[in-house]
Amino acid sequence: MTTYRDGVREALRDALIRDERVFLMGEDVGAYGGCFGVSRGLLDEFGPRRIRDTPLSESAFVGAGIGAALGGSRPIVEVMTVNFSLLALDQILNNAATLRHMSGGQLGVPLVIRMATGAGRQLAAQHSHSLEAFYAHIPGLRVVCPATVADARGMLWTALADPDPVVIFEPISLYNSDADLPVDAGAVDIDNAVIRRAGTDVTLVAYGASVPVAADAAEQLAAQDISAEVIDLRSLRPLDEATVLESVIRTHRLVVVDEGWRSVGVAAEIAARAAEHAYYDLDAPIGRVCAAEVPVPYARQLEEAALPQSATVVAAAREAVGVR
């Protein structure tokens, strides 16, 4: 069995071996092995030129990554947790995302920014954000979120091949999850959503840490003779609305599971697109199961209460199919 954390590490190792232009930079990625242990051992294997510890200045090292990408390198910038990325927002939004447009297509920024996201580990309000919706709002960025060990292993190389900046969100709560990973596991598609479980009665759409929640809910629903289809979005920008709409046309019901806040979030965007393009195929109102509209609490029982749980998803799906 391979953990999600080890899958990301193998992706980093593979990229460093395959392309001399690739290097990793960020806070504590070297000797310490990364805040979540993802880069442990890579400094010894590849040396300080390829594994670079940076000062505690997100704006500075993200900016350095943009410059390196413009200069022909393929940098991987690790931001410790998503909340710290706000300190580099000017670099990400005003530089990385806009340079191709501002240069009339002359300058691309082939930069990969990795950041840990989400709650579930009692890291309290300042380190438990799910800000994927904000970054998915920005033209010029590609935004992806691997939910499985295979995708954690495979998305990085595909992202490095992109001529424009890619932001990879790695859910903190998934780092210890594990699965069988083939020895020849490699790059995976980051353009299309994937159906993780086929179903006929209701569509459950999720991404990142919400995918196992939706999958568990689908198992419980199956025991109640309700067939739920589970879609893992994988990519949030661009959003593969075709896969979602095709599923809704088959099942006629939709529930979206999102660890982010409900207001102006990913779930709201998916619900809007379904209403725009599949309104006459829907047999019930669209359900949204999201985080409570509060800063994420520290206490474990309050943190769990604030986050989407499989029982809540089951209740929303039962309501969608007309079973109370």
Active site (catalytic) residues: 58, 127
* H-helix segments, 86-160: 89, 99-102, 132-136, 149-160
In degrees to the nearest 10, what's the CA dihedral of 117, 118, 119, 123?
Answer: 30
- Tell me how crowded residue 278 is: count the other CB atoms within 10 A of its CB: 20
How far are the Cα atoms of 65, 99, 231, 292, 305 from residue 215, in angstroms, in the given order? 37, 39, 9, 21, 19
Q: Are 52 and 24 in contact (CB under 8 A)?
A: yes
Residue 312 in 3-state DSSP?
A: helix
Answer yes or no: are the C-beta atoms of 80 and 28 closer than 8 Å. Answer: yes
Length of the chain: 324
Which tokens belong to 254?
A: 């939709």
